[in-house]
Structures are given as C-alpha cells and as structure tokens.
Chains A and B, each alone.
Chain A
Amino acid sequence: MKKLLLQLFAVALLAGCDKKAEEPAKPAAGAASYIDKIKARDKLIVGVFTDKPPFGFVNEAGRYVGFDTDIGRQFAKDLLGDENKVEFVAVEPASRIPFLQSDKVDLILANMTVTPQRKEAVDFTHPNLKVAVQALVPQNSAVKSLDDLATRTTIVTIGTTADIWLTKNHPDWKLLKFEKNSESLQALSAGRGDAYAQDNLVLFSWAKQNPGYRVLEEKLGDEAPIAPAVKKGNIELRDWVNAELAKLGEEKFLLKLYDQYVRKELSDDTKPESVIVEGGKWQG
C-alpha cells in the first residue's frame, strides 16, 4: 500500500514540475506524418485565451475571436480548406504547456512569450508578436530618459518581467511594488510613484484610454518574441506553421488583424511594427 502511495506521489511530482529532463519526445504519432493525422481528424485543435482582449476573447455573439484566435482560424483554412475546421480549447496561462505536453492540443496560440525555460518544454515557431518593457510617466513629468529614474520611485507589478529585470539590473533603484496591474496604475495616477514599468502593450493601451501620460522611448532590457508553440519535437508542425507565417506575411495578414483588433486599443502614434512580427521574420 505504501509503495502504491509513493508511486502516485512520484507521478504527481513529475506532472507538477516543468519536466526539465524531458526525454527527446517521441515524434508525434510515430513515424506517420502529424499533418496527416490532423487531416484525417479534419480538425485543427488550438489552445487560445478566451478572456484576454484583443488577443483572444469572446465577442458579443459568443464567438471566439481575437488577434491570436483568428490566426488559428486562418491556419485551419489553409490546412483543411475551411476556417471553421478548428476546435478552440480555453487555456489559462499556467495550463498552456501541459496542454501541449499531454497532446490535448496541436498548437498553442495564446500570447506566449518565448523564454529559455519554456524553450526546454515546448518548441516555439517563429514569432507573431513582440513585447518589451517600457516605462509610463505623466505627460508633464520632468523625467526624460530611463537614467532619470535612478533617483526616483518606479512602480512595478510583482512577478512581471519589469519587476524581475529591474530587481536584477538596477538593484539600487527605488521600487514600489503592487500585486495587480490595476493597482499599479492607480498608484501612478495617485502620484505615489514617478513612473510605472510594465510590458509596453499594457502601457500603450492605458495611455490611449487615459490622456495625460506618455511612454518613454527607451526599453528596459531586450524585446522578447511572442510565438505560437507546438509540442516538443513536433518539428513537422512547427515547420508548417513557420512556412504559413511567411506566406501570411506576404499578404500582410497580421497587419489586417492588427487593424481589426489591436489598433484601437493603442495610442495613435503606436507603430504596428513595434507590436506585430509579420512573416515571422524576427528572432529577438
């Protein structure tokens, strides 16, 4: 009995950890072509966010739409001849990788930032978006560049890329930390800090809705790619997605989706190239 218990716990632990020592994953469905498997099923299964506008959300009619979600529909159209031959699965940030590892979905299209740790768990295709950390200050602030922040108070949201990057690279800066993005923004507007460092998309969209703020041009750290992901070792599907992204890039397809979903969320002077990656032609 004890032994059984131990075995169950071992399974629990293994499933819980990030599976760093992942054995070179078996080629999906043996030697048979993965694309053929999707074609035989006549349905592409894609994990998407359903509550993160403008990337993946549910519209008034109850339909799954958004920048990422519509890319999924286009993939289904080009692979299976019909944009409706796609099954969307609602994923959460923490369940994106398990959904791939357990073969529950073919592809994750859920605003996943490419990081070294994630690269060990899944295979990313070429990116479709990019993200960088920038800082937001009030319009009339004396802050001109990032260096001005060294002597001032910078607000961050706990656990975000901005928080981790600043704590590591500028340990001497004075940081004011909050649990939630909404709390940090409230603190900035209440004057409790001089600047708010966060993913630039979040800042662009806030600056659009709340006049009186500007985003500093300089970036904190490098821009990071956001990319679709397939199961580790599913080279065939990864390469298909890469070719597909290149093809869609020639039609400026992502720009169309940007105009449809993203542009209205961002301030007017935002350049599409600072958000989307057309044709997958950027590696970060």
Chain B
Amino acid sequence: MASSGLELLWVSLPQLGKGAVQTLSISFLSIAFSTVGGVLYGVLRTLNNKVINGVLRVYLELFRAIPVLVWLYLLFFGLPIFFGLSIPSFWCAVLVLALWGASEVGEVVRGALHSLPRGQREAGLSIGLAGPQLYGYVLLPQALKRMTPPTINVYTRIIKTSSLAVLIGVVDVIKVGQQIIERTYESVLIYGVLFLFFFFICYPLSAASKVLERRWAQA
C-alpha cells in the first residue's frame, strides 16, 4: 500500500503539477489585479465624489450579493448567449476572481484610509501636497499597516475560491485530484496531497501577515 501509494504519486506528479500551475496562475493574476483595482477603488471612494461613489457602491453590492459561482456562469455562458462575446475559461476565471477580489480589497483600503486621523489629510494639504502626492506620501503608507493583514486574508480566499473554475472547464489541481481518485479510489492519499498543497501556499501568507501585524504593533 505504502509503495503503491508512492508509485501512484510519482506517476501522477506531472498531472498534479499541471493542475497546480493552473491554480497558481489564476490565483496569482487575480491577486495582482485585485490589489491594483482594490487600491484604486479605496482611493476613489475617499474622494467623496457622489457619482463615483454611486457607481462603486453598485459594483460592490453586485459582488457582495451575487456568489462568485453565479458570476462565473453568467460571464462564461451568459455573455456568448446574449452578446456573442466569448471569453476563454482561464481568463473568465481571472476576470471574475479579480473583480470579486478588488471589491474585497477595495473595502479594506477604504476602511484603512478612513481610519486615519483627519489631521493627516489636513496636514498634507496644508503643506501644499496635491492629490496624488497626498495619497502617495502621506495617506497610503500609513494605511498600508492597517490594510495588510485583512488584504492577505482576501488573498488566501481568492486562492481557495479559484477551485470553482472547474465548472467552466478549467482543470485545476482539485479537478486533477478528482480525476485520479475516480480512476484509482485513492481518495485519502490524493486529498492528503491537496491538503498539503493548499496549506503550504496559504499558511506562509497568513504567517507573514501575523508577523507584520506584530512588528507594526510594536513600532
């Protein structure tokens, strides 16, 4: 059993590797786009422009109210049916996860910016800093401390949620695992491997966030 289990792992490694590459590329791209989009969202929300706020509120509520799974179906199957616009499954997954992630990161950024003492903004303005400088030199660096731990939490959720993409035909690491299990019935072994995979991707992220949190708490 032990040796046949190892053998199975050995022959399955290329397949699992391919699935892992899919999972990691979708996750990495989604996280990158979420971060850029989220910071943009957070900053725009603090400008107190009524029109911008309205549009972003609708965006936020849409991604809060509608499950990621439904978005995947809607954009992957709905766009071609209703508008003849077809997005490949990989990029559809990245798009949905990035939009969802950006709404989550964005709320974190907005909260962090809002939590800074008003004096910081006023002090920056009073020494003549314009918008981008005010955010780049004064507000965002201070907000960074407050937003890092919850943002990393969003990242780990993006990684885990990426497995929903099997429903639109993406063969990620979990789907590869299921393919192997259905052929070999080695469910404990394969789920063990998946457990370790996700643990070793996600745990370092949350550990890093804890370390940062502690270091900044002392500073």
Contact = CB atoms under 8 A, between A and B. Distances in A.
A47 B89 CA distance: 13
A12 B171 contact: no
Given A51-B178, A53-B182, A60-B11, A12 B70 contact: yes
A85 to B, nearest CB: 19
Given A51-B179, A51-B182, A12 B66 contact: yes
A15 B81 contact: yes
A122 to B, nearest CB: 13
A35 B168 CA distance: 25
A108 to B, nearest CB: 12
A242 interface: no
Contacts of B15: 58, 62
By size class, the interface of chain B is 20 to 34
Contact of A50 (B73, B86, B171): B171
B80 interface: yes
Contact of B62 (A5, A59, A94): A5
A149 interface: no
A103 B80 contact: yes
Contacts of A102: 76-78, 80-81, 86
Contacts of A90: 166, 169, 171, 175
Interface string B55-74: 10010001000100010011
Contacts of B66: 12
A278 B183 CA distance: 26
Interface residues of A, number: 31
Nearest to B169: A89
Contacts of B74: 11-12, 15
A50 B179 contact: yes
Interface string A78-109: 00000000000111101100110111100000
B167 interface: yes
B14 A62 contact: yes
Nearest to B16: A62
A102 B167 CA distance: 14
Interface in A30-80: 47, 50-53, 57-60, 62
B77 A8 contact: no
Contact of A103 (B54, B86, B178): B86
Contacts of A16: 70, 73
B195 interface: no
Nearest to B84: A103
Nearest to B75: A15
Contacts of B182: 51-53, 57
B180 interface: yes
Nearest to B55: A1
Contact of B77 (A15, A50, A59, A89): A15
A98 B183 contact: no
Contact of B169 (A58, A62, A95, A103): A95
A59 B15 CA distance: 10
A4 interface: yes
A83 B24 CA distance: 31
A18 B121 CA distance: 54
A92 B164 CA distance: 12
Contacts of A58: 15, 176, 179-180, 183
B18 interface: yes
A92 B167 CA distance: 6
B82 interface: yes
Contact of A92 (B14, B166, B179): B166
A26 to B, nearest CB: 11
Given A16-B73, A103-B80, A1 B175 contact: no
Contacts of A4: 58
A98 B73 contact: yes
Interface string B149-172: 000000000000000001111010
Nearest to B171: A90
Contact of A59 (B58, B73, B86, B183): B183
Interface of A: 1, 4-5, 8, 11-12, 14-16, 47, 50-53, 57-60, 62, 89-92, 94-95, 98-99, 101-104
Given A53-B183, A58-B183, A103-B86, 6 more contacts: A51-B181, A58-B176, A58-B180, A91-B169, A92-B166, A98-B77
8 A-B pairs with least C-beta separation = A15-B78, A102-B80, A98-B77, A51-B182, A58-B179, A102-B77, A62-B15, A51-B179
7 contacts: A1-B55, A11-B74, A15-B73, A58-B15, A91-B169, A95-B168, A95-B169
